[in-house]
Structure 1
Amino acid sequence: MDVTDIRSGKILVIDDDEDVLRAARLLLKRHMSLVHTEKEPKRLASLMEKEKYDVILLDMNFARDVSSGQEGFDWLDRILEIDSAAVVILITAYGDVEMAVQAIKAGAFDFVQKPWQNEKLLATISAGMKLRWSQVKVESLKSREKQLYADLDQKFQDFIGDSAAMHQVFSTIRKVAKTDANVLILGENGTGKELVAREIHRQSSRSDEAFISVDMGAIPETLFESELFGHLRGAFTDARENRAGRFEMASGGTLFLDEIGNLHLPLQAKLLAALQNRMVTRVGSNTPMPIDIRLICATNMQIHEMVGENRFRQDLLYRINTVEIELPPLREHTEDIHLLVSHFLDIYCRKYKKATKRIQASTLKRLEKYNWPGNVRELRHAVERAVIMSDSDTLGPEDFFLPDSKTTRDGVALDTYNLGEVEEKVIRAVLIKHQGNVSHAAKELGLTRTSLYRRMQKHGL
């Protein structure tokens, strides 16, 4: 057999027979980097504290209990108390199938009889070491994955507010996070929908598992199934390797489907089937795979109105909105602006290594009067720019490039001449004016409903 894969391994052999220990030492030292032999099992704990062994060979029958193997089972329990992932191979002169089964059920990796066959013993040790190394690799990958998720999650730690509206949101999050109920988050762009989704995940029983975010508006229709359900190698032209979909990646954790209102009807049916069956089938496969996810969806569109207009499936809406959380636009809780500005100032002064800055009362009043069509995201960017550009320790009105009240009408801030941005702001303002009624908004804008929907989709409204 090829034993080169165990040369870097470390093994501990425990047996009260000196001849057995000598034979093990002579055999194993030629194949492994470290071989410790020990006659007294009471030294197990101190030996395991000093060294991390890949495999432990443990005699089942010590002098106190020559034939039943019970003492070996007792020491096996002690080893697994110290290291639950320890790979233990039990050895005995009185082996039988029943004892082997009991040993494996008790947590042993395998079972060998003495006198052993050298090749068989080496093969068993090699298999045990591969298991140990795979366990170590998995733990390392889990630690790295957890750190990566923590790093990604760091930029979503700004979900704060002290207004009554935000306290209501916080209360709902606390209640729903403890369950696995599906959640639909509604709100304009920039109100913090992903922040809410991540906060629900952080407070849930799934917080140690993956949080997978998918922008549904960014996935081409032709790649929908591949992205969400995965694919097998060769399933289509560019499928060069097997790939897990987002549902598989999120299994055990939380799947966040952002901008779900942008999903076309045929794709809605496929999504509904996966949610109802809690199974997905990779493209190119005929084998369904079970999934275990907590689903959170979000949209900035008037999704209930879309159901009435047959643009969103009602059965899918029922499936995704067990609980709805509606986020207020910043203009409806301006009392939180001071708190948010202070928070963002602290973040960006540290990020750009600037002296601590404060904000003038007159500046704060101006910020509170502004309409904030981009909501908290726009406020955050405004503070960041002010921190970068200002040389003063106190930020004044001139440090914030906001449109003057004379240049606004019905909440439309014409601080740019870019036609695309102007169109988006005008459409948004008219929709707000008519409380989301698309028919009335289209009439005021001089558009057909179809044309307005097309522009709304273009701008993600």
Structure 2
Amino acid sequence: MTDAKILVVDDNKSVLSALEILLQFEYKSVQTLFNPNQISSFPNMEEMDIVLLDMNFSAGVNTGNEGLFWLNEIKKKSPNTSVIMMTAYGAVDLAVKALKQGASDFVLKPWNNERLMTTVRSAYELRKSKQEIHNLKKKESNLKQVINEDKNFIIGQSKALSSVLNLVAKVAKTDVNVLITGENGTGKELIARELHRLSARKNEVFIGVDMGSIAENLFESELFGHVKGSFTDAKEDRAGKFEAAHQGTLFLDEIGNLSLQMQAKLLSSIQNRAVVRVGSNTSSQVDIRLVCATNCNLEQMVADGLFREDLLYRINTIHIEVPPLREREGDVLVLADFFLKKFAHKYDKPGLRINNVAQEKLMEYQWPGNVRELQHTMERAVILSDGNVLKPTDFLLHAKPMQSLDHQPLTLNEMEKQMILRALDQHDGNYSAAAEQLGISRQTLYNKLKKKHE
């Protein structure tokens, strides 16, 4: 017996009885309604798999308008329920009208039992297909939401960062290709995700691809997909990154690492917004927002013959340069505080803070690895900390030697500041010990530091 729920609506009790007897041996639940007005208050209509609905209920009326009205009412309550229309007055135009308004089929009275049962089975299969599609769309929507969930944030208050974010907000509303450049660790992927988050595609997927990690022999398969049997390990059809990003955003990171041969193949797909899977001759159109990123100087690479000029023009409609951390005045401590709270919570070390001398050390450092280096530095400091206060010695930074007087000498103020910070660093922030080493009083040392921050 099929686990389906069927509702029969007809003002002829003989018809209701006949259909109930016919259907109950094959379907688990068969209910009947004599009065169509009860449809509006019928409980759990969305659980009905099939409704057999008469088209005429008033004596002497055979236009079918009553049935069409109740068809629309059922569809409002339960769009995926299959509705089979029944009438003793067959007319092709009426059948077509019912099908256009959402009916799944049409049955004439008196019916042939075998033909009617076949119609009901087909309607049930249609209902199941619609339900599966609905469930798949719901799962897809949930999956996209999880994939696009904000797990990282763009932190900072500097003018340099604000300028970039203002540009991102303007560009995000369009579908133009964007090239993001900047040093390693500056947060190029975060900028790409912000472009996606602010775009009309925000509810679709964001697909990121590290171009530097793709082997040349797998390049086409990874980006454009392949068909079963196209090469040794191709055991099934597989969509590439372009197709996976359809209607969403495709982010190609480290695009400067591609060989000229791979650049040529990529250019064709970007120009045509279409891909051909490996082993196939069929072209598939893709609707994507393309965002690329690199830490390379692509214009210099073009001059050196290492990057295609036509590809650069294609990906570079809008250019966004992400500033290094050393140029984001004031953001070092903002980011350090953010990472401190994040890792203090992660490693269950509440109440941690950074003392003033350690803050000076963080601000003086040039951060060649940018935000990524600062993040790793803060995580390491939190993990290895013994007390509630992080001191200069808790931060392991790459030592930067004092500049030689033979090469762009520092000013006296800059040299004095470096000497003071170095002395404080060597004595774990102890002002008295640092002052003694420098040959000045503790109050003088404190005043000099205060003056340099004014």
- Please indicate the TM-score interval, normalised by the length of the shorter structure: 0.7 to 0.9
State whether structure 2 residue 256 is matched by structure 1 residue 261.
yes
Query: Which one-letter code corresponds to 1:377 in the other structure?
Result: R
| Mean CA deviation greater in 8-17 or 178-187 | 8-17
Query: Which one-letter code corresponds to 2:280 in the other structure?
Result: S
1:115 corresponds to: 110
State whether structure 2 residue 97 is matched by structure 1 residue 102.
yes
Task: Name stretches of at least 5 consecutive residues in structure 2 with no aligned partner.
Answer: 405-454
State how far apart, in whole Å, the 2-side matches of 1:201 and 1:332 are: 25
State how far apart, in whole Å, the 2-side matches of 1:105 and 1:306 are: 59
Question: What is the TM-score normalised by the length of structure 1?
Answer: 0.81
2:448 corresponds to: none
Q: How does 1:130-169 map to 2 (within 5 A)?
A: 130-154=125-149, 156-169=151-164
Question: What is the TM-score normalised by the length of structure 2?
Answer: 0.82
Shift of 1:214: 1.2
Query: Which one-letter code corresponds to 1:186 in the other structure?
Result: T
1:98-126 Cα shifts (integer Å, max 9, x gaps): 22322222222333333333443333333
State how far apart, in whole Å, the 2-side matches of 1:381 and 1:16 are: 75
State whether structure 2 residue 160 is matched by structure 1 residue 129.
no
| Mean CA deviation greater in 101-110 or 198-207 | 101-110
Q: How does 1:185-204 map to 2 (within 5 A)?
A: 185-204=180-199
1:424 corresponds to: none
Q: 1:97 to 1:215 in 2, by over 3 A?
A: farther
1:208 to 192, 203, 213: 203
Shift of 1:329: 1.0
Shift of 1:64: 6.9
Query: Which one-letter code corresponds to 2:234 in the other structure?
Result: A
Query: Which one-letter code corresponds to 1:349 in the other structure?
Result: A
CA contact (8 A) 1:156 1:198 kept: no
CA contact (8 A) 1:257 1:298 kept: yes
Q: 1:63 to 1:236 in 2, by over 3 A?
A: same
CA contact (8 A) 2:147 2:206 kept: no
Q: How does 1:230-249 map to 2 (within 5 A)?
A: 230-249=225-244
1:182 corresponds to: 177
1:336 corresponds to: 331
CA contact (8 A) 2:7 2:30 kept: yes
| Mean CA deviation greater in 232-241 or 312-321 | 312-321
Aligned length: 404
Shift of 1:170: 1.2
CA contact (8 A) 1:211 1:256 kept: yes
State whether structure 2 residue 356 is matched by structure 1 residue 361.
yes
State how far apart, in whole Å, the 2-side matches of 1:78 and 1:326 are: 56
Query: Which one-letter code corresponds to 1:384 in the other structure?
Result: E
Partner secondary structure for residue 330 of structure 2 = helix
Q: How does 1:248-327 map to 2 (within 5 A)?
A: 248-327=243-322
Q: 1:395 to 1:59 in 2, by over 3 A?
A: farther
2:427 corresponds to: none
CA contact (8 A) 1:334 1:368 kept: no
Q: 1:185 to 1:77 in 2, by over 3 A?
A: same
1:342-400 Cα shifts (integer Å, max 9, x gaps): 22233323333332433223222211221222211121122222232324333322332
CA contact (8 A) 1:160 1:340 kept: yes
CA contact (8 A) 2:46 2:78 kept: no
Task: Name stretches of at least 5 consecutive residues in structure 1 with no aligned partner.
Answer: 410-461
Shift of 1:251: 0.9
State how far apart, in whole Å, the 1-side matches of 2:222 and 2:278 are: 10
CA contact (8 A) 1:156 1:195 kept: no
CA contact (8 A) 1:65 1:71 kept: no
Query: Which one-letter code corresponds to 1:79 in the other structure?
Result: I
Please, what is the CA RMSD of the aligned residues?
A: 2.4
Shift of 1:85: 3.6
CA contact (8 A) 1:187 1:300 kept: yes
Partner secondary structure for residue 293 of structure 2 = strand
State whether structure 2 residue 26 is matched by structure 1 residue 27.
no
CA contact (8 A) 1:360 1:395 kept: yes
Shift of 1:333: 0.6
Q: 1:212 to 1:72 in 2, by over 3 A?
A: same
Q: 1:211 to 1:402 in 2, by over 3 A?
A: same
Identity %: 51
State whether structure 2 residue 72 is matched by structure 1 residue 60.
no
Partner secondary structure for residue 116 of structure 1 = coil
CA contact (8 A) 1:60 1:69 kept: yes
1:57-113 Cα shifts (integer Å, max 9, x gaps): 332222278322222222222223233444333232223332232222222233333
State how far apart, in whole Å, the 2-side matches of 1:195 and 1:110 are: 52
| Mean CA deviation greater in 288-297 or 39-48 | 39-48
1:262-304 Cα shifts (integer Å, max 9, x gaps): 1111221211111222221111111111111111111111112
Which of 1 and 2 has greater Rg?
2
CA contact (8 A) 2:148 2:206 kept: no
| Mean CA deviation greater in 396-405 or 327-336 | 396-405
State whether structure 2 residue 85 is matched by structure 1 residue 93.
no
Partner secondary structure for residue 405 of structure 1 = coil
CA contact (8 A) 2:145 2:203 kept: no
1:459 corresponds to: none
Partner secondary structure for residue 402 of structure 1 = coil
Partner secondary structure for residue 123 of structure 1 = helix
1:379 to 368, 374, 378: 374
1:14-38 Cα shifts (integer Å, max 9, x gaps): 2222222223322333223333322
1:218 to 188, 195, 213: 213
Query: Which one-letter code corresponds to 2:193 in the other structure?
Result: R
State how far apart, in whole Å, the 2-side matches of 1:357 and 1:87 are: 63
1:442 corresponds to: none
